[in-house]
Chain A
Amino acid sequence: MNTPALETRALHKSFGALTVANSISFRLDPGARQALIGPNGAGKTSFVELVTGALRPDAGQIFLGDTDVTALPQAARVKRGLIRTFQITALFRRLSVIENVTLAVCERQGIGSGRFRPSGHYRAAIEEAYALLERLGLEDDALRPANMLAYGRQRLVEVAVSLALSPKVLLLDEPAAGVPSGESGMIIEVIESLPPDIALLIIEHDMDLVFRLAQRITVLVQGSVLVEGPPEAIAADPEVRRVYLGERMRV
């Protein structure tokens, strides 16, 4: 068995009586297209926060490749290619779209601490940011403040920022949340066209999107992994249908 891109071993976190992660052992293979689903409050976003380092686990370990990153701060995990997007768009709202992406490129290239040369002199970083915007069809909005864009396009900027960080493992926290159904198509297209070597974990409520994109699905219920498997098996699983899919998937 090859080394997973991301692995958690018996990850545990509780806030008082509320357990948000109950001994979660999870693996994401390189190049995987995997989805994490579960009812509201199942602990999906908490899992993302634990993995990225925004939350500290009470017990358990997190591995990126061969490295134990459990004790590493968030920034160090980002440097190792563990990148997330946010469920609720978290952009630099008043800064232009290209600035949003350029800031990320600068951090990845390690020039974000440069204190004397004007940022405009780091032309390669700006060009890289612009190329990314072109790739996602955002170039016409490059100079507009992020909060002036339609929400669906803001979600794309969110993806652009994460791609600017050269992810090895990309955690997409509800990439289509709040996006009108007419616009979710372009987000799906972008996700489908991501480089195949990125290990992708999509946290999502939109089952169309999940079943279209994911090759494996992990179902999380009350902080525990209920079941994991290929989409067909998950869709057919009576337990999953009872706790989660049943209410939505009356096909």
Chain B
Amino acid sequence: MTSRLVDGFARRHRYSVLEALPWLAAFAGYFVFPSYLALGAQILATILFALSADLVLGYAGIVTLGHAAFFGTGAYTAGILAANGWGEPITGLLAAAAAAGLLGLVSGLVVLRTTGLSLLMQTLVVATMVAEAANKASFITGGDDGLQGMEVWPIFGWLRFDLFGRTAYLYCLIVVLLCWWMARRIVHSPFGRSLTGIRENVRRMHAIGAPVSRRRLLIYTISAVLAGISGALIAQTTQFVSLSFLSLERSGTVLIMLIIGGVGRLYGAFIGVPLYMIAQDRFSTVQPVYWYFWIGLLMVVIVVFARGGLLGLFDRFRR
């Protein structure tokens, strides 16, 4: 009995069959919707963005309205490299990850001194400052016109990014899979569990001797890295970056997608992002002017009837 319970508890990190579903769906999507692969690649990259937000918001309880700062920094880093003669995609991703991570580390040192509403405002301020800096530095970012003339080389000098988005889709799929695997390792590690502790009760975390500030800064930086990779993926596959990558709307939208799917569950991003982006794609074709209304309605319904997002709803039915 004893060891049974301990065994079960020690095995929580094992993969379950359900976890393969999103990946099977993504893989099948490649064959089933060949004419939607460009949208598919964007969805995959945005899933990574939402996943990065989930790490800070859902696990560590760090509220942020400035996550686009890291997303945009990654996008501009990869974009500027590719527009200036270095179009190698993998090193572009790494450079984007490093730049976004550095911004996360430095801004985290300042903003993470606070919590709650003042933290929210400070993340907003950081994102606004970065966006304004990108706007002013138009000689390198293209400012309001967006960054033009990106030229992304074939992956490994071999796989060209084609017009149909086949390469882009598979490229995003593999990068997101690797990042997800890393994120999953992190949330199941003692460090990841302690983040949940910080979210649940920060006083208790101090009282058991955990270095709370250091852990918060670390996950903030990791999350910034993943957001940066996500931005870089979109920049490389669409060959365009604009100031909207750094906008408040971008920061807000990713949270909405995450909340629709479910926060703090690692898989909320995999539900919320496709749902939101496909709905956006459909609604905006049918009703180009009013599609936001339907997104709004969906949001209201979820907040009223499914506080834990769609995954929370799923859990409730399973019990």
Contact = CB atoms under 8 A, between A and B. Distances in A.
A-B interaction? yes
Contact of B209 (A75, A99, A115): A75
A78 interface: yes
Contacts of A107: 194, 208-210
Interface string A123-138: 1001100100010000
B203 A90 contact: yes
A160 to B, nearest CB: 12
A10 interface: no
B116 to A, nearest CB: 18
Contacts of A207: none
Contacts of B12: 118-120
Contact of A127 (B6, B201, B210, B211): B6
B10 interface: yes
Interface string B212-254: 1001001000000000000000000000000000000000000
A54 B203 CA distance: 9
B206 A119 contact: no
A86 B203 CA distance: 10
Interface in A129-161: 130, 134, 139, 142-143, 161
B191 A103 contact: no
Interface of B is mostly: helix
B6 A103 contact: no
A172 to B, nearest CB: 13
A130 B318 CA distance: 28
B125 to A, nearest CB: 28
Given A92-B200, A93-B201, A95-B196, A115 B186 contact: yes
Contact of B201 (A90, A117, A119): A90
Interface in B134-163: none
B189 A118 contact: yes
Contacts of A78: 207-209
A72 to B, nearest CB: 11
Contacts of B186: 115-116
Contacts of A161: 204, 208
Contacts of B8: 143
A108 B190 CA distance: 12
A21 B310 CA distance: 51
B200 A119 contact: no
B294 to A, nearest CB: 33
Contact of B189 (A93, A103, A115, A139): A115
Interface in A195-242: none
A42 interface: no
Contacts of A99: 9, 193
B84 to A, nearest CB: 35
- Give the bracket for the number of chain A residues in contact with chain B: 35 or more
Given A107-B194, A112-B194, A115-B186, A95 B209 contact: no
B188 A74 contact: no
A98 interface: yes
A84 interface: yes
Interface string A100-113: 00111011100111
Interface in B1-48: 2, 5-6, 8-13
Contacts of A102: 9, 193
A94 interface: yes
Interface in A60-94: 74-79, 83-84, 86, 90-94
B201 to A, nearest CB: 5
Contact of A130 (B5, B191, B200): B5
A120 B188 CA distance: 8
Given A93-B201, A99-B193, A120 B9 contact: yes
A20 B281 CA distance: 62
A107 B205 CA distance: 9
Interface string A1-31: 0000000000000000000000000000000
22 contacts: A52-B207, A74-B207, A74-B209, A75-B209, A90-B204, A92-B204, A93-B200, A99-B193, A103-B193, A103-B197, A113-B215, A118-B189, A119-B12, A119-B188, A119-B190, A120-B9, A120-B11, A120-B13, A123-B10, A130-B2, A139-B5, A143-B8
Interface of B: 2, 5-6, 8-13, 185-186, 188-194, 196-197, 200-201, 203-204, 206-212, 215, 218
Closest 7 CB pairs of A and B: A78-B209, A118-B13, A120-B10, A92-B200, A115-B191, A104-B208, A114-B190
